[in-house]
Amino acid sequence: MTKIPFVDLSFQHEPLINQIEQAILTVLHQGDFIMGKAVAEFETAFANACGVEYGIGVACGTDAIALGLQACGIRPGDEVILPANTFVATLIGVLHAGATPIFVDCDPETALIDLKAAEKAISEQTRAIVPVHLYGQMVSPKQLRDLASAHNLIIFEDAAQAHLAEREGYKAASIGKAAAFSFYPSKNLGAIGDGGILVTNDAEVAQKMRSLRNYGAPQKYLHTEYGTNSRLDTLQAAVLNVKLPHLPEWNNLRNAAAQEYDRLLEPLRSHGIFPIHNQSGTGHIYHLYVIRINESCAIEREKIQAELSAVGIQTGIHYPLPCHLQPAYQYLGYKAGDFPNSEILSKQILSLPMYPGLSQTQIVQVVQALQHILIAPEAAISG
Ligand SMILES: *Cc1c(COP(=O)(O)O)cnc(C)c1O
């Protein structure tokens, strides 16, 4: 059997294993576990890589959003616009900042936030928009900046899936006031546990963020903000320092794999299989490679997923239930039918295996398996 995992981190970690071990041992010997030397090193290196001035490491991406929005001055009562089709952490970040989330729908071709819908959702209370660079493709920086300047909104990027992505000459994290990243292990740049960072060009935001992540204390035992404890572990930063220089090369490999999928999947369009549209060319860093199995496809998504799994090919769904329909957030007052594009996508999307190190042979195997299921369903069932 083929056995193609959804994500395989060994390609990234095996060649670096000695350096990673060394980095971990160094922290162990130094004993600077909290806010150690590696943290400051990584914050500077990562901010530089993004072309942004300041980086402030935190415990996870969710905190980077929650504390980052607060550092940008978002207060209870402020409305913050976000897409309905994002990972729930975007929503949790907005809620933890005390703001009122205002969902909008997405473009059905790119799965990115629909900025026309966002414009319609703006009210007197709207202070910020949180574009999510979903799957590794950036929301148009030009359109975002036009919208934000016309309505005096803060742009706060959720770049958790977009490390070093680019579009229209902008890098992810350089469009607006601040941006949040996650280093969850399977992200394009992943730690060996949880981690996150806020990056910004604004010195005041950076200073406030440093305080918020550290008990709201600008100096020891003086608490000027209602902060929390959310720091990037020195151990995680040490590992991230080893991995960061390889990120551009890993992103290129993802983009090349995606182009190969695009090319091989072309004949399956007539069977109702459409890759999510890439509008940003080589700047798309393909955190995920997502196809849409639309109404014209003879076989339903769950069946396709099960049959791929039966031949050893793991896939994912990002995400099967949009945020506005999640049980915990029904109190926000949204209902089914509010965001039709997000709702339809959630039922039709399928994420194929994608990681640096995914081979040409494996890509061919995935596409052939799909072809087999779609074009010869009888044969596929009987194996
Ligand atoms: C992963 C992710 C986050 C949250 O990151 P954590 O580090 O898991 O807290 C936020 N937004 C998006 C879009 C993500 O994919």
Say if residue 382's pLDDT is above 70: no
Residue range 351-363, pLDDT digits in tens: 999 999 999 999 9
85 lines ligand 1 (CB under 6 A): no
User: So what's the pLDDT on residue 12?
Assistant: 97
Same domain? 284 vs 336: yes
Contact call for residues 316 and 77 (beta carbons, < 8 A): no
Enter the DSSP assignment of 49: H
Looking up tokens 């056995």 gives 3
Same domain? 167 vs 68: yes
Say if residue 311's pLDDT is above 80: yes
User: So what's the pLDDT on residue 2?
Assistant: 72
305 lines ligand 1 (CB under 6 A): no
**pTM attached to this predicted model:** 0.97
Distances (CA, A) of 153 to 19, 55, 81, 178, 264: 43, 22, 10, 12, 42
User: So what's the pLDDT on residue 383?
Assistant: 43
363 lines ligand 1 (CB under 6 A): no
Neighbours of 266 (CB within 10 A): 12
Say if residue 94's pLDDT is above 70: yes
Residue 22: HSE in the Cβ half-sphere, 13 Å Cα cutoff: 7
Could you tell me the CATH number of the domain that includes residue 175?
A: 3.40.640.10
User: So what's the pLDDT on residue 376?
Assistant: 72
Q: Which residues are catalytic?
A: 187
Report the atom number in ligand 1 closest to the C-alpha of 93.
10
Q: How many domains does the chain have?
A: 2
Separation CA 227–CA 124 (nearest Å): 28
Residue range 234-272, pLDDT digits in tens: 999 999 999 999 999 999 999 999 999 999 999 999 999
29: in domain: yes
Say if residue 44's pLDDT is above 70: yes
Say if residue 60's pLDDT is above 80: yes
Contact call for residues 82 and 139 (beta carbons, < 8 A): no
Same domain? 236 vs 332: no
Same domain? 275 vs 220: no
Same domain? 234 vs 370: no
89: in domain: yes
User: So what's the pLDDT on residue 1?
Assistant: 66
Mean per-residue pLDDT of the chain: 96
**Alpha-carbon torsion (7, 11, 14, 20), positive or negative:** negative
Per cent of the chain over pLDDT 90 is: 96
Report the atom number in ligand 1 closest to the C-alpha of 287.
15
Looking at 210, 245, 280, the residue that finishes a domain is: 245
144 lines ligand 1 (CB under 6 A): no
Report the atom number in ligand 1 closest to the C-alpha of 195.
7
Q: Average pLDDT of 324-340? A: 98
255 lines ligand 1 (CB under 6 A): no
Could you tell me the CATH number of the domain that includes residue 289?
A: 3.90.1150.10
Say if residue 159's pLDDT is above 70: yes
User: So what's the pLDDT on residue 380?
Assistant: 47
CA of 62 to the centre of ligand 1 (A): 6
Structural domain including 312 reads 247-374
157: in domain: yes
Q: Average pLDDT of 77-94? A: 98
Looking at 245, 266, 301, the residue that finishes a domain is: 245
Same domain? 209 vs 265: no
Say if residue 314's pLDDT is above 80: yes
Nearest CA residue ID for atom 5, ligand 1? 61
